[in-house]
Amino acid sequence: MTALLLLPLLLPFALPALARRALARLTPVAALWAVTACAVVLAGCSLAALGAFVLIGVLKLPLFAAFGELIHPLRTASDIVVVPAAATSVGVLAVCCWTLARSVLRQTRAFRTARTQAGSGPAAGDLCVVDSPRPDAYALPGRPHRIVVTTAMLRSLDGPEREALFAHERAHNEGGHHYFLAAAELAAHCHPALRPVRETIRLAAERAADEAAAASVGDRRLTARAIARAALAGQANRAERPDFAAAATTGPVPQRVQALLANPGAPRAGRAIAALLVACTAVSCVASVTGMADFHHRVEVAQGDERP
């Protein structure tokens, strides 16, 4: 049981490398879905494993054993292993909850500020123009979705480049990329190995919006130029916004521009990397479910409901 519950805690360390390969070998949209789904499942399985270790340690205490109606000792690994594992799990879960709560509060404040700022300027459809000396543009989710752009950013681009930039930000809203970014942020607070994956998911979202914008305006070179000039103008500063509000100026812009200038073509075969992502997720799920089922069986045996 202990070995099975360790697997969901170790498998997330393999995801950062797999995520980078997925983005290189799959289409941006496919990579965005696959990596985000894998990160969320691995995060959930790791939390389940930590919770199981906590319950095992708690039921080793006489008070909680009596509360759980255990009439026999709970058969687990040696207390030398179980007790430290349970104590460590409690500490890790506490840190996860604390950092997640801080992130939620910070993101909520930033979202309210961004919505207030967007509502203070003139709007044309889903486009909001904010009077600011800082060049910035981003997709702001909500009801309704908005594309926020500052006057300084508008002055930094010509007409066709503005249309390409607007198409990029509109693709973020239409693709629901804020959900993927929020899920990546949540997973990053559940397991430290998933923090690098957060940046890969952000890059996948930007690449997906880049391709959508290029298809919308019908000119990949124009889209690349608009993104490069917007990033160059906005690199010094940015308006306050939540991390899940995607923006064309974020991420490794040179890499994105290079991808746009390259021949679109079909991506390299990604079946192997997709299979590895599925296998990693499946193994984590099976190990977590099997470990929890075994733990439940041992509790029932300790309660005298079943035979060993």
My answer on whether omega of the bond before 144 falls inside 30° of 0, hence cis, is: yes
The contacts of residue 241 (CB under 8 Å, 6+ apart) are 110, 111, 113, 114, 136, 138, 140, 148, 247
Residue-level pLDDT at 173:
92
**How far is it, in rounded angstroms, from Cα 276 to Cα 294?**
26
What does the pLDDT read at residue 248?
A: 80
Q: Return per-residue pLDDT of the chain as tens, 308 residues.
A: 677 888 999 999 999 999 999 998 899 999 999 999 999 999 999 999 999 888 888 777 666 666 666 666 667 666 667 778 888 899 999 999 999 999 999 998 988 888 887 777 666 778 888 888 888 889 988 888 889 998 999 999 998 999 999 999 999 999 999 999 999 999 999 999 999 999 999 999 999 999 999 999 999 999 999 999 998 887 755 556 788 888 888 878 889 999 898 866 555 667 888 899 999 999 999 999 898 887 777 777 677 655 55
| Helix pair angle (15-25, 271-302), 10° resolution | 150
Instruction: Provide the pLDDT for residue 117.
Output: 79
The distance from CA 299 to its chain's CA centroid, rounded to whole angstroms, is 35
For residue 67, what pLDDT is reported?
Answer: 64
What does the angle CA 27 – CA 31 – CA 37 come to, to the nearest 5 degrees?
Answer: 155
Q: In the sheet that 123-124 helps form, which strands lie side by side, from edge to edge?
A: 123-124, 127-130, 146-150, 137-140
| pLDDT of res. 198 | 93
Query: What's the burial of 124, exposed, middle or buried (CB within 10 Å: 0-12/13-18/19+)?
Result: exposed
Q: Is 34:22 a contact under the CB 8 Å cutoff?
A: yes
Residue 103 to residues 71, 84, 98, 131: CA-CA distances in angstroms? 43, 28, 9, 28
Residue whose C-alpha is closest to residue 201's, from 219, 187, 220: 187
Neighbours of 73 (CB within 10 A): 11
From 210, 207, 190, 249, select the one nearest 41 (Cα to Cα). 190
Q: According to the model, what pLDDT value does residue 43 have? A: 95
Query: Alpha-carbon distance 36 to 7, whole Å?
Result: 20
